[in-house]
Amino acid sequence: QVQLVQSGAEVKKPGASVKVSCKASGYTFTAYYMHWVRQAPGQGLEWMGWIDPRSGGTNYAQKFQGRVTMTRDTSSSTASMELSRLTSDDTAVYFCATDITVSILDYWGQGTLVTVSS
Amino acid sequence: EIVLTQSPGTLSLSPGERATLSCRASQNIGSLYLGWYQQKPGQAPRLLISAASSRATGIPDRFSGSGSGTDFTLTISRLEPEDFAVYYCQQYYTSPWTFGQGTKVEIK
């Protein structure tokens, strides 16, 4: 069965960077884009971008351009999202998600809480 | 960027009642690029509907989606206790993908 398992919670100081990983199993990792979505406490969902695991190509939301880097390791079927120059506004749960059966996010990771605090 | 506006913000209903949730797009997104998700506290979103009206695998038939262009609707025909949650619409017509702000369906 399809599983996306994310890395554990992180606490970071303002100005630091964080890297969240997402290990995929149960499907062909390189066949489907991996998306990243975040959700601030008590707020809605915000799409950050995607990576094509086959080519490494990326598409970032303009809001995150210059601060986000999405990468993949095909040998371990793992996608990662690194966000730099963190502020308190980046405190959120970060989800990876993929679009296997339909062209929308049908499988999700469990989420990773990133807390930015001095 | 396409803005999705959901209404109402909160819907207070009793089990067994019908729920009608609206999602309006700031521009025409056709009929194939709108999805609906359900999210419960502490959980990841769950896909309910894709392409405006296609139920995802395992989704009960009390959930239905309709609409095209700029106006879309999610209907829950008879609310079950497990349906009380927050619902989000999302467009994937163009990048950046965007979500509505959500509608909370709460027990009256």
Kindly report, residue by residue over B32-60, the tens digit of the pLDDT. Answer: 999 999 999 999 999 999 999 999 999 99
Distance from CA of B44 to the nearest CA of A (A): 6
Closest approach of A74 to chain B, Cα-based (Å): 24
Question: Scanning every residue of chain B, which has its alpha carbon at the shortest distance from the alpha carbon of A65?
Answer: B96
B56:A95 CB<8 A? no
Query: Is the Cβ pair A103, B50 closer than 8 Å?
Result: yes
Nearest beta carbon to residue B44 from set A49, A63, A109: A109
pLDDT tens profile A7-56: 999 999 999 999 999 999 999 999 999 999 999 999 999 999 999 999 99
How many whole angstroms from its chain centre is CA A54?
A: 17
Q: Which is nearest to B102 in space by CA: B48, B38, B17? A: B38
Residue A104 contacts B, CB cutoff 8 Å: yes
Residue A44 to residue B45, Cβ atoms within 8 A? no
Instruction: Tell me what pLDDT residue B1 has.
Output: 96
Q: Tell me the residue type at B84.
A: F
- Which pLDDT tens digit goes with each residue over B56-105? 999 999 999 999 999 999 999 999 999 999 999 999 999 999 999 999 99
**A52 in contact with B, Cβ within 8 Å:** no
Contact between A33 and A52 (Cβ < 8 Å): yes
Q: Over range A77-85, report the average pLDDT.
A: 98
Omega within 30 of 0 (cis) for the link into B96:
yes
The pLDDT value recorded for residue A44 is 97
Q: Which residues of B touch A102 (CB under 8 A)?
A: 47, 50-51, 54, 56
Any B CB within 8 A of A110 CB:
yes
**Which of B38, B47, B101 has the highest number of chain A CBs within 10 A, making it the mutation to test binding with A?**
B47
Task: Tell whether the model's pLDDT for residue A6 goes beyond 90.
Answer: yes
Nearest to A101 by CA among B50, B29, B33: B50
